[in-house]
Amino acid sequence: SFINESGRRVLWSWMQEGRTTRAQRAAGWSGAMTLPRRLWLDEVGVVRQEPVGELESLREAPLEWTPSAANDLHAAGNQVEFAFDAVITASSAVRITVLASPDGTEETTIDLSADDAGALRLDLDRSRSSLDCTTDASPLRGSVPSPAGSLAVRVFLDRSSIEIFVEGIALTARVYPTRADAAGIRIQSLGGATTSGVVGWKLSGVEQQDREVDPV
Q: What is the pLDDT of residue 147?
A: 77
Could you list the beta-strand ranges (E) of 132-211.
Answer: 140-143, 151-158, 161-166, 169-174, 184-190, 194-203
Taking residue 15's Cβ as centre, other Cβ atoms within 10 Å add up to 17
Give the per-residue pLDDT at 216.
55
pLDDT value of residue 62: 98
Cα–Cα distance, 78 to 81 (Å, whole number) = 9
Q: Model pTM?
A: 0.94
Residue type, 36: P
Exposure string of 25-48, with b = 16+ CB inside 10 Å and e = fewer, is eeeeeeeeebbbbbeeeeeeeeeb
Distance of CA 133 to the CA centre of its chain: 22
Cβ-based neighbours of 103, under 8 Å, separated by 6 or more:
none
From first to last of its 216 residues, the chain has per-residue pLDDT tens of 999 999 999 999 999 999 999 999 999 989 999 999 999 999 999 999 999 999 999 999 999 999 988 789 999 999 999 999 999 999 999 999 999 999 999 999 999 999 999 999 999 999 999 999 999 999 999 999 987 789 999 999 999 999 999 999 999 999 999 999 999 999 999 999 999 999 999 999 887 677 666 655
Residue 170: how many CB atoms within 10 A of its CB?
21
Residue 27, phi then psi, degrees to nearest 5 = -75, -25
pLDDT single digits (tens) 111-131:
999 999 999 999 999 999 999
User: Looking at residue 215, what is its pLDDT?
Assistant: 58
Q: Phi/psi of residue 40, each to 5°? A: -155, 160
> So what's the pLDDT on residue 122?
98
